[in-house]
Amino acid sequence: MADGFTEGASRRDLLKTGALAGGLMLSFSVAGKADAAPAAEAKLNAYVSLTPDNKVTIVSKNPEIGQGIKTSLPMIIAEEFDVDWAQVTTKQADGDPATYGRQFAGGSMATPLHWDELRRVGAAGRAMIVAAAAQTWNVPAAECTTALGVVYHKASGKKATYGSLAAKAATLPAPDLKTVPLKDAKDYKILGRFMPQVDSAGLVTGKPLFGIDVVVPGMLYATFDKAPVFGAKVASADLAAAKAVKGVRHAFIVEGGTELSGLLPGVAVVADSWWQAHKAREKLNIQWAEHPTSKQSTADYDAQALALSKAAPLRTERNDGDVAAGMKAASKTVEAAYSYPFIAHAALEPMNCTAAFKDGKLEIWAPTQNPEPGRQLVAKTLGMDPAAISLHMTRCGGGFGRRLANDYMVEAAWIAKQAGAPVKLVWSREDDLRHDFYRPGGYHFLSGGVDASGAVTAWRDHFVSFGNDGKFASSAGMSQNEFPARFVPNFRYDLSLIPTGVPTGPLRAPGSNALSFVMQSFIDELAHAAGADPVAFRLKLLGDGAMVGTPGQSGYAADRMRGVVKLAAEKAGWGKTKLPKGTGMGIAFHFSHMGYFAEVVQATVAADGAVKVDKVWVAADVGRQIINPAGGINQVQGSVLDGLSAALGQLITIENGAAVQGNFGDYPLMRIADAPPVEVHFLITDNPPTGLGEPALPPAPPALCNAIFAATGKRIRSLPINTEALKSV
């Protein structure tokens, strides 16, 4: 079947053939073995094709969710392959772990996982082209050089395009990836240059790139109505009334299961158009069965959290030194209760998927961040062999972690099988907001002390989070090493849990997006209690050590964080400008997804409590190489605006076991007119490059809240920001 957008050979067919007509297909295993057909156990395979007219096609293996990976990963290969970026066309891979290894978009891991491997893939391809030229000219390969897709032999004056050498190169063995020489960064011609996203022209001209754009022959449209209370079953539904609507082909009850990440109970309607299916859905008059969590509510969670804060914790997660003694030794102490709500991902493209079931095989077109787990979940739910399921990854209109779950994929596959025709399932906005895997809420009951020198002597956090059977709900946890753990001599982290039926999951910078608000706001409180400048106080807290813990996700390089704090303060002119009444600056920093970020927000609070973010300054340390500065700056700016948007107005309220908010009228996103300028500065350090999709978000909310305190003297301890409490009239 077609790829959903255009007719032609599938990517899977291309990979199977190995060599293009008159051209070359390079496939490499990151384990160091190069084969015409990659071994099934390979963890990573990258593919480069060449045609005789010297055009290069580079396949991007990971899902494109707006993070620019369809541009940046091929840039890495193209640089070492030594071609002109203008020669390159990039193509999205299908979901195919046997060929590409693991494919996912999440955790800001694309750069750290693929930086070295894809450089070696490009370098190995260049070596094969050079070897082909050397054999053709009967000269040593060491005497050949390359530039912009051309091989040169200086001594003889000979030169040849890569394309003209492709057929011969295709017959040569690929070199060992571990031994191929790599370029020095000073010789880069592609990496580090501002490159537009490869899909930009299609995006601005409305080309069909997204899952919601997919059209296949004979396709029908579906809606799927699930209970407001997560996981409740269907008691009854008027299927006859729905079937009476013009254009409706099917209406049936789906029994579903109990796992919130799989196929939930509901009622499916299939019609000739989505609008017909939607109108028929309104006729169903569904009665939902009672569910054990139907009495849960945000108000009840709040009450439980307060009660738990006054009782003994479920357990103590960390206990360094003697907090009681540290508090006693303090010259100033502060106590505060912080909270943050459940929030939704609210990707602009609602969840959708197209599926076609025929002759025991299933073909899926999905905007997914996590294709292979989706395939496996579909196979398990439908009782199929995963090998009978082919999966085309489309561009995602935003992901932010929501599309790591594949419930919408399972729904589409199930409905298509029942309908006996290709089906495109599209959720409504209300479906999208009321059936999310929400960023979990949380409560922190804090106490801290500072001595006369401005040092933090003690810190205690009784964290009340969500979970069942003594275990955190998805993304509701907090590490034992969460800052300022390991930087305060007397530190205690206690934990209690509230049972919940609300489905939760990772949202951009999971955990960190909420925890940074709490930790950096309370640090600000301690700074003011100590009478210290907030920047100087933070630098003192970070201390003089270089690395705390083991390098990686849990290690904390204090010197790198000090570097970005100083840079952000410098670029913002911290303490050098007298701000008008009602305007303030706040600073915050956070280590997330191996990235070190500090941000300064300047905000103005009007007499009626309205908050205007004037400007944001960002300092970032993500290592020695920014692959594509255009994409990097875009990611940082988008993350900051994401964080500010959530802080200023987003929450999901639970009543009677269900989400209340259902559309952008009651779940507002930041509008363009309200978006402040975000000035981005990268601090280049000699460390491996890391990702940019997430780590810029966490410092934004606390920096804003700290700026509001500087402007008004009023401390924000609960999100979203209550502007009524900021009124000065």
pLDDT digits (tens, 9 = 90+) for 265-302: 999 999 999 999 999 999 999 999 999 999 999 999 99
Strand partners, 530: none
**Domain contains 36:** yes
Which whole number is the average pLDDT over 719-723?
A: 97
pLDDT value of position 46: 57
Q: Which residue has the tokens 């920001």?
A: 721
DSSP 24-39: EEEEEETTS-B-SS--
- Which pLDDT does position 1 carry in this prediction? 56
* CATH code for the domain in which residue 223 is found: 3.30.365.10
Tens of pLDDT, residues 679-694: 999 999 999 999 999 9
Which ranges constitute the DSSP H helices of 139-267?
162-169, 200-204, 239-243
656 in the same domain as 587: yes
Start-end of H helices in 101-161: 110-137
State whether 643 and 685 are in the same domain: yes
**How many Å from the N-terminal Cα to the C-terminal Cα in the chain?**
65
Of 108, 111, 105, 106, which Cα lies nearest the Cα of 93? Answer: 105
Which residues are bridge partners to 498 per DSSP? Answer: 466
Report the distance separating Cα 425 and Cα 412, nearest Å. Answer: 6
Q: What is the mean pLDDT of the chain?
A: 93
Q: Report whether 112 contacts 148 (CB < 8 A).
A: no
For residue 16, pLDDT over 80 is answered with: no
Q: How confident is the model at residue 166 (pLDDT cuts 50, 70, 90)?
A: confident
Look at residue 36 and tell me whether its pLDDT is greater than 60: no
| Weakest-pLDDT range from 11-20, 50-59, 607-616, 704-713 | 11-20
Instruction: For residue 201, tell me if it sits in a domain.
Output: no
Beta bridge mates, 353: 425
Q: Is the pLDDT of residue 38 over 70?
A: no
Shortest CA distance to 224 belongs to which of 411, 66, 395?
A: 411
Residue at which a domain ends, from 193, 210, 243: 193
Taking Cα atoms as reference points, which of 36, 87, 96 lies closest to residue 57?
Answer: 87
Q: Is residue 22 domain-shared with residue 101, that is, in the same domain? A: yes
- Residue 139 included in any domain: yes
Query: What does the pLDDT read at residue 305?
Result: 98
Residue-level pLDDT at 43:
20
Structure confidence at residue 30 (pLDDT): 29
Judge if 370 and 385 occupy the same domain. yes
C-alpha span between 467 and 440 (Å, rounded): 10
Tally of CB atoms within 10 A around 531: 11
Does one domain contain both 472 and 561? yes
Helix (H/G/I), strand (E/B), else coil: 338? strand
> What is the pLDDT, as a whole number, of residue 498?
98
281-293 as b/e, with b when 16 or more CB fall inside 10 Å? Answer: bebbebebeebeb
Same domain, 285 and 312: no
Q: Which of 586, 582, 591 is nearest to 602 (CA)?
A: 586
Name the domain boundary from 426, 455, 484: 426
- Rounded Cα–Cα distance for residues 24 and 696 (Å): 40
The vertex-281 CA angle with 280 and 286, nearest 5°, equals 125
User: Quick one: which of 378, 385, 349, 350 has its CA closest to 364?
Assistant: 378
If you count them, how many residues does the chain have?
729
Same domain, 519 and 607: yes
SS3 state at 457: strand
Judge contact between 445 and 461, C-beta under 8 A.
yes
Instruction: Name the residue range of residue 520's domain.
Output: 298-343+438-726
Other C-beta atoms closer than 10 Å to the C-beta of 428 total: 18
Give CA separation, 59 vs 12, 48, 99, 403, in Å. 12, 7, 12, 21
| Contact yes or no for 340/718 (Cβ under 8 A) | yes
In a domain, 557, yes or no: yes
* Cross-strand pairs, 236: 287
Q: Is the pLDDT of residue 600 over 60?
A: yes
Say yes or no: 664 and 564 in one domain: yes
Residues 336 and 359 in one domain: no
Q: Is residue 199 part of a domain?
A: no
**562 within domain boundaries:** yes
Does some domain include residue 520? yes
State yes or no: pLDDT of 9 exceeds 50: no
Q: Helices then strands (H, E): number in the chain?
A: 18, 30
Residue 2 in any domain: the answer is: no
* Residues contacting 88, CB < 8 A, separation 6+: 56, 57, 58, 74, 78
Q: Domain boundary residue among 384, 401, 426?
A: 426
CA 206 to chain centroid, in Å, comes to 24
- Strand 456-468 to 389-393 pairing: unpaired
* pTM for the structure as a whole: 0.93
Whether residue 275 is found in the same domain as residue 338: no
Q: Are residues 339 and 355 in the same domain?
A: no
253 and 130 share one domain: no
Q: Average of pLDDT values for 706-721?
A: 98
The full 3-state SS of 672-687, as one line of letters, equals HHHCCCEEEEECCCCC
Total domains in the chain come to 3
Tens-digit pLDDT profile for residues 124-155:
999 999 999 999 999 999 999 999 999 999 99
Band of pLDDT at residue 20, cut at 50, 70 and 90: very low
CA pair distance 580, 560, nearest whole angstrom = 33
- pLDDT over 90 for what percent of the chain? 88
Collapse the DSSP code of 311 into the 3-class scheme (helix H, G, I; strand E, B; otherwise coil) and give the result: coil
* Contact (Cβ atoms closer than 8 angstroms) between residue 433 and residue 287: no
